[in-house]
A and B are shown apart, each in its own frame.
Chain A
Amino acid sequence: MHYKVVVGLEVHVQLQTETKLFTDCTTAFHPDRPNTQTHPLCLGLPGTLPVLNRKAYELAVKAALGLNCTIARFTKWDRKQYFYPDLPKGYQISQYDMPMSSDGWLEIEGDDGAPRRIRILRAHLEEDAGKNLHDESGRGQDSLVDLNRAGTPLLEIVSQPDMHSAVEARRYLETLRLMMVYLDVSDCNMQEGNLRCDANVNLHVTLPDGAIAATPIVEVKNLNSFKNVELAIDHEVRRQLEEFEQTGRKWGDPGVTKATRGFDAHRGVTVSQREKEEAADYRYFPDPDLAPVTITDEELEAIRRSMCELPADRLRRFEAAFEISAYDAGVMIEHSRSLADYFEAVAEGVGDGKQAANWITQHVLREIHERNIGIEAFPIGAPILAALLQRIVDGKLTVKSAREVFDALLQAADADRELSVDDVSRLISEMGLERVEDAGAIEAAIAAVLARPQNAKAIEDLQGGKQQAAGPLIGQVMKEVKGADAKLVRELLLKAVGQA
């Protein structure tokens, strides 16, 4: 049976603010200390009132601009009403019919490798609920409620159903995550629940007569890792296909409504969730306690100007300006904004993007992975690395020597020394690694090496045209003259034995 997968994602991203959306209570993550981070408002106490966190709104605008959304010049707050123990007021403050932004898009790499635009329906601000902990024993014990998280600012980003595979959904999330992290909108830490995803999935099946039938839409809730998003969608595709083959039930048939399923990561399957006793009726209405927000073109422009370059733009610029591969640019940009900043500083310092990219993607990344640190904590700062690479570019240091200096710098740092740019030249001279361009010194060393009796056989082989015989001889010369350029040594050696 031929079918197309149709996926839309609803993503909740926790905004990086110090305080909650509507009260000056900390948003720090402390699941081990339940109910220690509340204010009267977070508890829903009678008489408390919300006041909007300016930073939260500004971060939301930044994110929405990054997602190419239209920012509403007027936006308001609505109450979404339902009873649930993690919702102390009995309503969530959210945005209903006038969200702060809408109609955007995010470009991802499609399954065919070509860029694809996933349309964004809307992105709106809302407050998070608390956390319920359920009795897992199955004995129906009390559930527990922790309100630490209640009131934390979330940006809900709703895509159109534009993704056509589990892989595309994952790529969308990865691209989205990178954007949010880049803009300092969110750390998107999924372990801490700072990025949560619900997936709406169904299939468009082509029937034998050519007509298209849509399977019932299923919302898979609370996917807490990119891998689970992919696994859940894949499973849901298989399950829906099977169900369709058996029942023929279609979206739009009488009695067919959107079903909610969860994902059981252990078994790798989506599972039906208990249906509620009543149809949802959230009775949205404008929150009388909160003033609407307006934004002018000038204010919007100021926020736009304060934004850093978006990851996709940066990638294109790195490719063009530094003549590096899209792959290398991607590795650095996707690692973190600070690593890409580091690259840019080194590349500009050296004036050679390729050299900078090589070193960073190989040596620097390896070191920070091994040390499990961010680039901010890496002891060889961008000016120092730039100074080191400058020596290579200027032909004053061989690549091999540069690696030795690099390692020596790290050793010094590990011995608790604060590094500076001067350490580069100091170490080079201390280690005697200056590249020797003095042909006379090299020629003298060659003469000495060639005079060694044990080399007679090698000289003969070389003169006989056996190029590989040069290796050991070059090695001996280089031992004599530290910092000599191997290429130059080879040249002079071949000349000396009459092979050049």
Chain B
Amino acid sequence: MLGEQEIRKVALLARLELTDAEVVAFGSQLSELLDYVAILNEVDTEGVEPMAHAVEQTNVFRDDAPRPPLPREDALANAPKTDGKFFRVPAILDAP
């Protein structure tokens, strides 16, 4: 069972503000799902290569030739807040 603290920690990592009701609901729903997926532990996967791609190709490249960029107007068009040149966000205080 995932406790409140754990749910809140995951929510912070995912940058989701949860209501108290959501914390409770997700706590039980995630727990139920995790209980269910525990059946994967029955599978012997010793020596099995993980499969991250549905089609396993390699060496897909493109050439180093530029195409014109988007006009700045278009680049900023969908942004919630800009000054016409930059995207604007509340002051950044932390390092990444």
Contacts and interface: CB of A to CB of B under 8 A. Distances in A.
Interface of A: 17-19, 24-26, 33-40, 43, 45, 51-57, 74, 76, 82-87, 129, 132-135, 140-147, 221, 260, 273-274, 276-278, 281, 283, 285-286, 288, 290-294
A115 to B, nearest CB: 36
Contact of B91 (A135, A286, A293): A135
B64 A142 contact: no
Interface string B81-96: 1010111111111111
B53 A40 contact: no
B51 to A, nearest CB: 10
B38 interface: no
Given A83-B15, A281-B13, A25 B66 contact: yes
Contacts of B86: 34-35, 133, 144-146
Nearest to B86: A144
Contacts of B78: 45
B52 to A, nearest CB: 4
A143 B90 contact: yes
B33 interface: no
A402 B69 CA distance: 53
Interface residues of B, number: 38
A54 B61 contact: yes
22 contacts: A24-B62, A26-B69, A36-B69, A43-B75, A45-B78, A51-B61, A53-B62, A53-B64, A54-B61, A55-B63, A76-B52, A85-B89, A132-B92, A133-B86, A145-B86, A147-B75, A276-B95, A277-B12, A285-B52, A286-B52, A288-B52, A294-B58
Nearest to B85: A34
Interface of B: 9, 12-13, 15, 52-53, 57-67, 69-72, 75-76, 78, 81, 83, 85-96
Given A76-B52, A134-B92, 13 more contacts: A19-B64, A24-B67, A38-B70, A52-B62, A54-B62, A86-B96, A145-B87, A147-B87, A260-B95, A276-B95, A278-B13, A291-B59, A294-B58
Contact of A142 (B15, B71, B91, B94): B91
B70 to A, nearest CB: 6
B64 A40 contact: no
A166 B65 CA distance: 40
Contacts of B58: 74, 291-294
A491 to B, nearest CB: 65
B95 A38 contact: no
B50 to A, nearest CB: 8
A454 to B, nearest CB: 75
Closest 5 CB pairs between A and B?
A144-B86, A55-B64, A54-B61, A145-B87, A286-B52
A24 B61 CA distance: 11
Given A141-B91, A143-B92, A293-B59, A278 B12 contact: yes
A84 B88 contact: no
A82 B58 CA distance: 27
A52 B60 contact: yes
A35 B61 contact: no
Given A142-B89, A142-B90, A52 B67 contact: no
B95 A221 contact: yes
Contact of A85 (B12, B61, B64, B92): B92
Contacts of B13: 278, 281, 283
Contacts of B64: 17-19, 24, 53-56
